[in-house]
């Protein structure tokens, strides 16, 4: 069990270093207030440029400094899966640095746990939020010591997608 934990941690550290190596780190200290009150409670995260992100259930709303909504997405956040065959955590947190923020969440398919890193870039001049980078690290529950290469896709490979256009279905199709 210890070796599988080390493999998982080293895979996550390696993927995090790939995101940071772009010169525009997508990881850093989380700026968050943890949800209170259990399931359904909202989590609020401070992003760069005075933006805030509020996650409640499948909804993710980005607001500006005045509290006005500038972006909304109901098709991106993964919820914890209550099925016994897929004990994934779903949404975990948002990590922000500068005008970039990364959604970290977990899902599974078959025997695989997959941790996703979905990075967006806030373009101040146009007040738009666009998909910047997407990465995933998988672990086979049957063989947790097996090294599975991390997948990382840049905006060039993904094409241009606004925050509202980026969905779980879009990301699930990447690389397949």
Domain spans, the chain:
2-173
- In the chain, what is the greatest distance between 2 CA atoms, to the nearest angstrom? 49
Mean pLDDT of 60-73: 96
Average pLDDT along the chain: 81
Task: Tell me which of 125 and 3 has the higher pLDDT.
Answer: 125
DSSP state of 57: T
What does DSSP assign to residue 123? E
| pTM greater than the 0.75 cutoff | yes
Instruction: Determine the pLDDT at residue 41.
Output: 76
- In 3D space, the residue among 114, 120, 117, 56 whose CA is nearest the CA of residue 89 turns out to be 114
Per-residue confidence (pLDDT) for residue 176, from 0 to 100: 74
Instruction: Please report which confidence band the pLDDT of residue 146 belongs to, taking 50, 70 and 90 as the band edges.
Output: very high
How many C-beta atoms lie closer than 10 Å to residue 145's C-beta?
A: 11
**pLDDT band of 38, cuts 50, 70, 90:** very low
């Amino acid at each position: 069990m210890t070796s599988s934990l080390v493999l998982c941690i080293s895979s996550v550290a390696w993927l995090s270093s790939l995101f940071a190596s772009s010169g525009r780190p997508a990881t850093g200290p989380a700026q968050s207030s943890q949800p209170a009150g259990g399931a359904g409670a909202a989590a609020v995260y401070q992003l760069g440029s005075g933006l805030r992100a509020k996650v409640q259930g499948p909804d993710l709303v980005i607001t500006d400094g005045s509290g006005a909504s500038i972006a909304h997405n109901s098709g991106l956040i993964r919820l914890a899966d209550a099925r016994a065959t897929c004990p994934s955590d779903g949404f975990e947190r948002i990590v922000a640095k500068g005008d970039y923020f990364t959604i970290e969440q977990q899902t599974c398919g078959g025997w695989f746990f997959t941790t996703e890193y979905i990075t967006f870039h806030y373009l101040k001049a146009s007040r738009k939020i666009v998909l910047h980078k997407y990465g995933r690290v998988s672990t086979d529950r049957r063989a947790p010591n097996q090294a599975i290469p991390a997948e990382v896709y840049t905006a060039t490979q993904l094409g241009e997608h606004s925050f509202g256009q980026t969905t779980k279905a879009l990301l699930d199709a990447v690389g397949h």
